[in-house]
Each structure stands twice: as C-alpha cells, then as structure tokens.
Chains A and B, each alone.
Chain A
Amino acid sequence: MGVKMIAKIITGAFALTLYSGAAISSYQLNLPAPQSGIATQIYDLHTLLLWICLAIFVGVFGVMFYSILKHRKSLGYKAANFHHSTTVEIIWTIIPFIILISMAYPATQTIISMKDTASPDITIKATGYQWQWGYDYLKGEGEGASFYSKLSTPQEQIRNKAPKGEHYLMEVDNNMVVPVGKKIRVLLTANDVIHAWSVQELGVKQDAIPGFIRDAWFKADKPGIYRGQCSELCGKEHAFMPIVVEAMEPEKYTQWVANQKKKSEATVVDVNKIFTIDELKTEGEKVYTANCAACHQANGKGLPGAFPALDGSKVANGPKAGHIKTVVNGETGTAMASFKHLSDVDIAAVVTYERNAWGNATGDMVQPSEINEFRK
C-alpha cells in the first residue's frame, strides 16, 4: 500500500513536470528543434549518444548500487578476496571500443557533410566587430547587399528600467536575410578579436578570426527567424551581439534584394560633398552612439581605468590628424579597435562630433574628403 502511494505520488509529480514543461517553454531540456538537414543529423546523433550513455549508466551503476545495497558490513556480508581477472579486464576493454565505433561512424559522416562548403547558391561574408556583425553579400542573388546588424534591445530593458521584450537580447536592427532551400555559404572573419557566429537551429557555429577567413554553410528548410549569439568571449559587450537569420520564400527574398538595392542607392554619398558642422555633429552623434558609446560612454567620460574619457582628452583636443588616425587604425595593444570599416562620412561625422561634444570645443570640422585622403 505504502509503495503504491509513493508510486502514485511520483507518477503524479512526473506528469505535472511534463505538463508545466509544455506550458512554460522556458524549461527547454534539449537542443532546439532543428531547421536544416545538418541540424537534424546532429539532433539525431545527440539522441543516439544519450541512449548509449543511458544504457551504460544503467549497466554500470545498476551493478554498483546493487553492491552498495547488498555487500555491506552492516548486513554481515563477508568480503571476498579476488583482485583481478584477465578475461574480464580484456572484455571490458574491448566492449567500449565497439561502442565507440558505433558512435564515431555516424559522426564522421556528418562532419564530412558539414565541411562541404562547395558550390553554394549564395555566399555571404559575416564580419565580427566589437560588438556587432557586418554582412556583405558577395555572390549569388543579393550580391552587393551590405549592412550592419546590431542588438536592438534597448538599454532600459537591460538595466531593468523597462519590462523585457519577448526576444530580449536575441533581436537585431537588420536581420541577415536568406532564401529557404538554397545553400548559403558564410565566410567568417573579424575586425578586432575572435568572435563566433552561431545559429543552433541551422547547425552552424564557426569562429570569426581577425586576419583569417573561415567558412561554414547551411540550408534553411522552412521560412522563419532563427536566433543565435556570439559564441566566443569578445570583450565586455559579448552578451550583446546576437545573430538573427531570417529565412524567407525565394520570391520574397527577391523582393528583399530589390529593396536593399534601392536603399543602398539612396544612401550613396559623394565623398567630396561638403557638409555643415551641424550636419556632421548630428550624424556624428548617431555614429558615436552606435559604435563608441559602449566603451567611451554617452557622456564621453569613459570608464576610469578601462576605457579613457574623450571629454577633455588629448586626442580629441589635439591635432585633427592624430584623432583621425586613432579612429581609422585603432591603437594596437589597447581595446581601441580600428574603425576603418565605417564610411568616410561616418568617420568624418564622428570625429567632428567628438571634437565638439561635451566639454570639447575645438570648433574643428572634418569633411569626408579628408578621411578619403587619409586612407590613401
């Protein structure tokens, strides 16, 4: 009776756990549902591994716990005195070998197909920056599209001053858009430190290494939005540079490509155009907020010890050339990365802004043509 009661309680509790597990999706116990062929293979491989481990677990600990229960001094059990058996030892060396081979065989096949990045439909370069991703569509439909992808979760949510949204920390301003059913090859590199581009549902994780190009590929089965996060420690905002891949039907993708084209045509600016100081300052503040404020802070005070203040700094109040050089090339050996990937207009604007914001009042103005000149 007592045993029955306990069994009832345990099954009840178990059912309840399952139930609540279904109701609250946050108790996810396994890999996310796979959305590409490779991810499906990995999912199945992992399931196979778990079953094998479970079988070994039951075997080994079944014996051990039987022994713990029965072979006790308190039960008056007398110790045997055997201390080796060559036969048994050979058997339990060989059996693990066979088990391992059964694991290695399917894994090997998956590795080979994961590494086959040949003949892609579309090639996209993803570049890791501290702390955002840049995407350049290099080949295939959409060639020429190029944009940055930055966390869009507002600071108030991170600082607990506003309720957190559904996709807290997993949302960006510009999704990487791809068509479904097409082989997408992603080329990975980085601008400053090592980052890693990862989307579990598509079965991809690849480090982005500064100065080197690595590649990976995926083919999304279904339209949908797949989210991942930078997976290599890349500094203080490492938690805040997600990856969002939006897979859409090919027709929709064609439309998206057309829109991108229009957008980029609209934003092409002649490098020789002369701006007013106010235009530069307004634009510069935007660039500053997007690229510099994470370290140097919105108020230009930096974080003492870690990131220098720009307000009143030697660089921002010294010669223009030195300031431009620091922004474009970065400072080796420090956290100041190179920002040469920004456009001439952006760099001109942000330098102008920094030289005239907060307590800085140099009155200097930097035109895009000067940056263009500097780059030569």
Chain B
Amino acid sequence: MAAVHHPDHGHGHEHEHHGAPSGIMRWMTTTNHKDIGTLYLWFSFMMFLTGGVMALTIRAELFQPGLQLVEPEFFNQLTTLHGLVMVFGAIMPAFVGFANWQIPMMIGAPDMAFARMNNWSFWLLPPAALLLIGSFFVPGGAAAGGWTLYPPLSTQMGMGMDMTIFAVHIMGASSIMGSINIVTTVLNMRAPGMTMMKMPLFVWTWLITAYLLIAVMPVLAGAVTMLLTDRHFGTNFFNAAGGGDPVMFQHIFWFFGHPEVYIMILPAFGIVSQIIPVFARKPLFGYSSMVYATSSIAILSFVVWAHHMFTVGMPVSAQLFFMYATMLIAVPTGVKVFNWTATMWQGSMTFEAPMLFAIGFIFLFTLGGFSGIVLAIVPVDIQLQETYYVIAHFHYVLVSGSLFALFGGTYYWLPKWTGHMYDETLAKTHFWLSMIFFNVTFFVQHFLGLAGMPRRTPDYALQFADFNQISSIGAFGFGLSQLLFLYVILKCIRGGEKATNQVWEGADTLEFTLPSPPPYHSFETPPIVK
C-alpha cells in the first residue's frame, strides 16, 4: 500500500491513507494491521453467529425426546459443522484478530512484519467459510462424521466431506501464514528496550501459540489429505481391509488436536493476564512463572494426545503414560490460576465488564479444569468418554474459557479501537446474562454425561429429558444474549463518551500511550521502553 511508504504523513488524521482505495477495495487490498484485525474480528463474529444458529437448532431438537425438527443425518451435519465453524471460523480467527490489532501496538511496532501476507492470511478465510457452509447445499449434505472426521465413517460421506477437507487445508494455510507473521513480528520488531521478559503476557502467549500452530497445522493437513486419498485415489491409510488402521487417523488427528486446544486457550490466558492487573491496580503476580507455565503447557500439549482416545484399546503402559502426562498439565495451569488470584489479592479492584469477564473466565475455566482432571483419570474417563460430560467439559474451557476471554478483551480494548467508551451497563448485563445462561446450558450436561447420555445423538432415553430441557432453555438464553453484545459494539462504534488515551486507570502497556482511536499508522518512530 502506497501510504506505508509515504514519507511525511502525520498521525491521527483520517486523510493520511490518501491514495489508498476506498469502499470495499480498501478492505480487499488493505495491508494495515488494524484493518486486518477488524476484518478478522468481524469475520469471526459472523461465524460465531452461524455456528450459534447450528447449536440452537441442535438444542431445539434435543428439547424433547423423539425426533421433531431435523432428521438424524442432518443433525449429524449440524454437530459436525458447529464444531468446525466454531473452532476454525470463530475462536481461532478472533484471537488472530486480537493479535493483529494488539501485538504491533503492544510491542511498539508500526505494523506486522509481512503486511501483504497478512492480507492474504485473512482473505483465505472467507472462501474456506463458503466451502464449509456451502457443503450443506450439495448432494449428500455437509460432512456428518463429527468435527474430528474419524474414518471409516468419513470415507462414507458425499462431496460435502471433500469440501470440508479443502476448507481445512485453506484455513490451515491461513493459520500458518498468520503464525509466521506473528513470530517474525514479535522476535524482530519490538521497540528498543523491550526485552523478551518485558513483553506483555498477551504477546508472550501469542508467540507460543504461533509456534504451536506452525507445528501442528501441517499435521492436520496431512491427516485430511490421507483421508482424501483414501476416499478418491485408492490408498488404504485408514482402511483395515487394505492393511491400514482407522485408529492411526485418531492418533494423527489428536497429535494436532490437543495442541489445538491450547492454541485456543493460551491467547485467552494472555488477555486475562492483561486485564486482571489493570483492574486490580497492582502488577501481575509471578510474571516470569506465567511465561514458564505457558511454555510448559505448550510443550506438554504434544505428549498427551491419546487421552482423547482412552477407549480405543491401548496397552496398559500407554494408558498410564497418557494419564500421568495429562495430569501433569494441571500443575502449570494451577500456577496460572494461583497467580491471577494473588494478583487480585490486596488489589484495589473495580469491576467493569472486562474485569467481570476475566473473573468469570478464571472461575468457570477452573471448573472446566476440574472436569478435565476427572476425565484424565482413565477408569473414570472410560465411563464418561463420548458422553455429555465431555461436551460440558470442553464448553467450560472453550466458551466460558476462550470466548469469555474474547468478550473481556473486546470490552478492554474497544475504547482504544473506537475512541469511545462502550455502554458499561449494557456490557455488564451482557456479562451476567452470559454467565447465568451459560451455566444453565452446560452445568446440567455434567449430570447427563454421568448418567450415560451419549453425545452426537438426535434423540435420547426418557431419563435424560428434564436436564435436556433445562439445557435447551439455557442455550437459547445464551444465544440471544449475544445479540446484546453486537448491539453494544455497534453503539460504541457509532459514538459514546470520548475515551482517554489511557482508557483504564491502571493500564500501563504501550497501546495506552497512543491516542484513542490510535492513528492509522502507529509507532513509526519506536518508543523507548525503560
């Protein structure tokens, strides 16, 4: 983009990107990290609503026993696409959106290292999303084998599965480019004086996440490619009749899948670690142990994958190894929770929406951690594998974990991005509605799982009826509450009380030294960090 090289434009003026295209072409051709961050965030929000509609259709069918609204095969398509859309379309791009907006500003850099590749990383996503959503309308419908795409079931599907595989390839390419960009930016473009151990934790967690992405996205790409050749080109990687092994897919998939779980939670840890000290008006407790804990979690994530498959029939030694390794993860995760608590201890706390979501995150994520420990214990896992207990567990870490952190982060930085304060009352209402309805939806699913209700079923036995009804009511409440979130954001973009540069009383990271909203190109002269 021409304006980047323009020598003499000032800060803070809308006319500075003169020469750049306007209208839709501005967004298509932009190489500005803030524009691209905005694109990522809106894309992920749209995918969040899309995946949400699928979830609500699922919950509507499960409101009562019996088949009412959808046929079983369509139900399976919904559960599959809900998972894929939320993981690859909503949560991951949302964190990349935050990285784009925040990392350059937090390390005092003018933009991302590879500005044009950044544009391409984003613009790969809409075609991938179209492939995923479009697969509902092809003969045979969308992939219906679960988001984990286990063969041989996934080799039975129609062309919807091929579209899904292609979409996964594209999104993988996008993630890898985004990650290389982040690693390069963080390692090379920090302001003078900002040593690694002075970086804000959000930057640290994203750096580690980016390495995880680079390590595992190719593994996923390999797994789905093997699936593709098994389907169409006569290979037998996963077909026992031809000498292959269906369980091998699960090993490869979860070698990607477990680090993927941390890809979706580490940046959330980063956001929460930014928010808590600001609203406690007290420095983060145990900064370096936070960095080490994050790194340990990342490293451990490569040696625990088979805890997703304790029922496939592994030898005792393998079950024990994966159980012990999984339990070990509780140690660094515990350290993080203790550090956040110690940060709050004897602080001078206020409870604006970002803080509420951060505390909600710690509270509910820890509950998800408890159910994680329960599931790590092999004998108990065998009772609970593939039941609603697992659904409850990973929604506690993904919805009240990752998503709550995203909400918190949005409220935290929205005044910086837009230059306006958001409506605090509405935002707090959004928090309480989300908090209550989330628990109504998912807490009861622990009981369903313990009682043995299998997941991925459109119908269930009568003893599960009451809790399912409660869960469905909660789900609709939660879904509708998110429209309030949309309203708060739109209202904040359109106007509102002017935000100061610092925005929050306790904020001390570099982005809060810039005006609100920050100029189109910030930190062209790097700040000096002491």
Contact = CB atoms under 8 A, between A and B. Distances in A.
Identify which of B138, B379, B462 gathers the most chain A CB atoms within 10 Å of its CB: B379
Nearest to A49: B374
Contacts of B73: 236, 303, 306
A114 interface: yes
A92 B334 contact: yes
A79 interface: yes
Interface in A14-44: 24-32, 38-39, 41-42
Interface string B133-175: 0000011110011100010110111100000000000000000
Contacts of A230: 454
B131 to A, nearest CB: 17
A294 to B, nearest CB: 9
A305 B139 CA distance: 4
Interface string B230-267: 01100000011100011100000000000000000000
B500 interface: no
Interface stretch (B13-21, B214-222, B345-353, B521-529): B345-353
B330 A100 contact: yes
A153 B386 CA distance: 23
Contacts of B320: 108, 111
Interface stretch (A2-10, A138-146, A161-169, A348-356): A161-169
A112 B323 CA distance: 13
Interface residues of A, number: 103
Contact of B65 (A96, A168, A303): A168
A332 B231 CA distance: 9
Contact of A89 (B286, B330, B450, B457): B286
Interface stretch (B48-56, B84-92, B311-319, B425-433): B311-319
A215 B460 CA distance: 27
Interface stretch (A69-77, A270-278, A282-290, A363-371): A69-77
Contact of A73 (B281, B289, B337): B281
Interface in B192-215: none
A104 B319 CA distance: 12
B275 to A, nearest CB: 14
Interface residues of B, number: 101
A11 interface: no
Interface string A45-56: 110011001001
B67 A159 contact: yes
Contacts of B27: none
Contacts of A80: 282, 345-347
Given A110-B379, A193-B153, A28 B451 contact: yes
B78 to A, nearest CB: 12
A93 to B, nearest CB: 6
Interface stretch (B408-416, B463-471, B507-515): B463-471
A231 B311 contact: yes
Given A73-B348, A96-B331, A236-B144, A103 B464 contact: no
B141 A45 contact: no
A115 interface: yes
Contact of B465 (A26, A38, A71, A229): A26
B385 interface: yes
B359 A68 contact: yes
B283 A81 contact: yes
A311 interface: no
Contact of B374 (A46, A192, A237, A332): A46
A90 to B, nearest CB: 10
A315 interface: no
Given A79-B282, A96-B330, A89 B335 contact: yes
B184 interface: no
A107 to B, nearest CB: 5
Interface of B: 65-68, 71-73, 76, 138-141, 144-146, 150, 152-153, 155-158, 231-232, 239-241, 245-247, 280-289, 311-313, 315-316, 319-320, 323-324, 327-328, 330-331, 334-335, 337-338, 341-342, 344-351, 359, 362-363, 366-367, 370, 373-374, 377-380, 382-383, 385-387, 447, 450-452, 454, 456-467
6 contacts: A26-B464, A30-B450, A31-B451, A89-B286, A169-B459, A211-B241
Given A77-B349, A210-B152, A231-B386, 5 more contacts: A64-B362, A84-B289, A203-B383, A237-B72, A306-B140
